[in-house]
Amino acid sequence: MLSIKKILLLLSLVVLFNQGTFAQQTQKPPLHGKDWMAITGKPLAATAGATVFNKGGNAVDAACAMLAAACTMWDVLSWGGETQALIYNPKTKKVIAINAMGVAPSGATPEFFKNKGYNFPPEYGPLAATTPGTPGGICHMLAEYGTMSLKEVLAPAMQMAAGYPIDAQTANSIERGKQRIKEWPYSKKVFLPHLGEKREAPEAGEIFFQKDLLVTLTKMVEAEQAALKKGASRKVAIMAAYDRFYKGDIADEFVRGAQEQGGLVTKADLAKWKPLEEEPTVVNYKGIDVYKLQPWTQGPAMLQALNILENFDLKAMGYNSTQYIHTVYQAMSMAFADRDFYYGDPYFSDQIPMKGLLSKAYAKLRASQINPSMNDGNIGPGDPYSFEGKKNPFNNLLASRGFTQFDSAARNFAPSHDTGSIALLDKDYQDRLWRGTTSVEAADKEGWVVSITPSGGWIPACIAGNTGVGMSQRMQSFVLDSTLNPFNVVAPGKRPRVTLTPSFAMKDGKPFLSFAVQGGDTQEQNLIQFFLNMVEFNMTVQRASEAANINSNQLWLSLGGTKVDDRKPRAGNILLHDSTPASIRTALQAMGYKMSFDDKTSGPINAIWFDWKHGTLWGGSSNHGEDYGIAW
């Protein structure tokens, strides 16, 4: 029998848990700040943000400095990649969506790639490149919402380009990818300083020099400073730097180098492209407004899943109980099935049914279709058009894939396009599922908040000529066949439907949470569970960022692979944390799941929570990867 002393101890632990005290027990401490907070994927890049804050910059200035530094450090992205952001403006109390995604270049058509034997545009090399978006995104955000000059904001990145001690993660990534890097002369020149030796990449801690990139950044700053000397405003001067990148001598060298290596990007492609400001998508989950970008990203899939899950008592199910895991998995599968078929560049079509996809009535119908006792491996796209008072124009396409607009449980076969092996995942598939990027989170005492999920130009990157700029690989997220997704077929000037997905939430008219994560198709999966960890299970932001999540593989991969089979959904495949109890494993197996396990399944997530009771900022950063934050 338990002694009275032990019973009292157990009761006290229950009380502590209910009060949230237990949730403070984390591997990394939470960040606390009053004036500002800067979190990103590399410690030195977080320091760049802190440096700008200490010089009087606001959260937009600091976020741009962190983004520039992360690109220079090749934190799974480069200067030729893409930037997606949400910015909260405390003056207007509005959330602004920034679309700095590059577009497919001239000549990028389905026929072009099919004639080369591709099922999707390639993963690597010059033919994988969209036009660069990040330089334009930085210039636009800084000019419109920052306070500092480009020279001040780029100073940390320029110091790094002049030489910084490279971290082991990046150095080893270069060494692993060196055979491909050697295919591209400008990449070989930058990445392999020890060519011909046993280890040709830099060693961890070695000073890594990027002279060409430093010249490119210097040219941008020179353009800004020359404009200021002529009396231009801060905004006009920053856009002079923008013009030099996209229309001047930097553009000339970028295009020359890209085309020399077989790329399609033209000078006209660069000159025509521009970053855009958009209205974000938003849904309300139990009194909290959650914001995402438009459907040229996968962001609305999280909003769809939240709408579905609002129909269930998740808290009563219990964190990571069998029923909770099953319900979240099913809701995500439904949202991803819609993502895979209906999402794409809204500037190329006005038929994307976002109103229907995000309607509460549509979500209620989808929730009613969840089988509470079995995984449905045949979940397909729903019919959101009927919730807009329209007929679905793609019924014939859906029928050709074996889908109807009835409950999928009525089908006794799996669509040939949409079922993969139910064996445990191979290493290559898992790499494509998790393929990462970085994230940037910043907030200040004036109320500016920035959430960014940038990417593109990751190692092994093809560098465009003598610019030092690695080209994006985001073309691979297009499809070549409209039966897979009629809105995401590649075309010149079009944006691919990307995985990149910054997040922001408001409660009672005030910022509540700013959050983002790396990890390809797992991004929305980890972010929705992080959000629920805080909202439903009262976890602190750090505890929520470290907490065990599940990952579903019942979706079409957005990255990697050259064949349709490489990207097919793996029905019922689920990643669980190593600590998952045997009883839950047994129950999930009986429900039709095929399980794999890992010791970390949560991200890494970076986030800022706004503590309005005390007027402070809380920061969370997952306990794996190199993500790091600094606050004051």
Domain ranges, ordered by start, for the chain: 281-433+508-631
Give tens-digit pLDDT for 343-400: 999 999 999 999 999 999 999 999 999 999 999 999 999 999 999 999 999 999 998 8
426 — pLDDT class (breaks 50, 70, 90) = low
Give tens-digit pLDDT for 402-412: 765 433 333 22
Model confidence at 420: pLDDT above 90: no
Q: What pLDDT is recorded for position 281?
A: 98
Q: Residue 145 carries which DSSP code?
A: H
**Three-class DSSP labels, 114-130:** HHCCCCCCCCCCHHHCC
Alpha-carbon gap, residue 174 to 171, rounded angstroms = 5
CATH of span 281-433+508-631: 1.10.246.130
Alpha-carbon gap, residue 222 to 524, rounded angstroms = 40
Amino acid at 578: D
Residue 619 buriedness (CB in 10 A; 0-12 / 13-18 / 19+): buried
Q: What six digits make up the tokens of 477?
A: 């997220």
Alpha-carbon gap, residue 600 to 623, rounded angstroms = 8
Amino acid at 341: F
- pTM to 2 decimals? 0.92
Report percent pLDDT > 70 for the chain: 91
Lowest mean per-residue pLDDT among 102-116, 313-327, 618-632: 618-632
Q: What pLDDT is recorded for position 4?
A: 40
Give tens-digit pLDDT for 306-344: 999 999 999 999 999 999 999 999 999 999 999 999 999
Q: In what order do the strands lie in the sheet containing 288-292?
A: 31-33, 616-621, 605-611, 510-517, 503-507, 288-292, 281-285
Model confidence at 429: pLDDT above 70: no
Model confidence at 146: pLDDT above 80: yes
Q: What six digits make up the tokens of 574?
A: 């689920």
Alpha-carbon gap, residue 105 to 259, rounded angstroms = 11
Q: What pLDDT is recorded for position 564?
A: 87
Contacts of 312 (CB under 8 A, 6+ apart): 327, 367
- Cα 334 to Cα 147, 447, 552, 556: the distances in Å are 43, 36, 11, 12
Model confidence at 144: pLDDT above 50: yes
Alpha-carbon gap, residue 367 to 362, rounded angstroms = 9
Mean pLDDT, the chain, whole residue set = 91
Q: What six digits make up the tokens of 457?
A: 């130009």
Model confidence at 155: pLDDT above 90: yes
Rg of the chain taking only CA atoms, in angstroms: 24
Give tens-digit pLDDT for 189-235: 999 999 999 999 999 999 999 999 999 999 999 999 999 999 999 99
Give tens-digit pLDDT for 523-550: 999 999 999 999 999 999 999 999 999 9
List, in sequence order, every beta strand (DSSP E) within 113-271.
164-165, 207-208
Give tens-digit pLDDT for 493-523: 999 999 999 999 999 999 999 999 998 999 9
Model confidence at 566: pLDDT above 80: yes
Q: What pLDDT is recorded for position 56?
A: 98
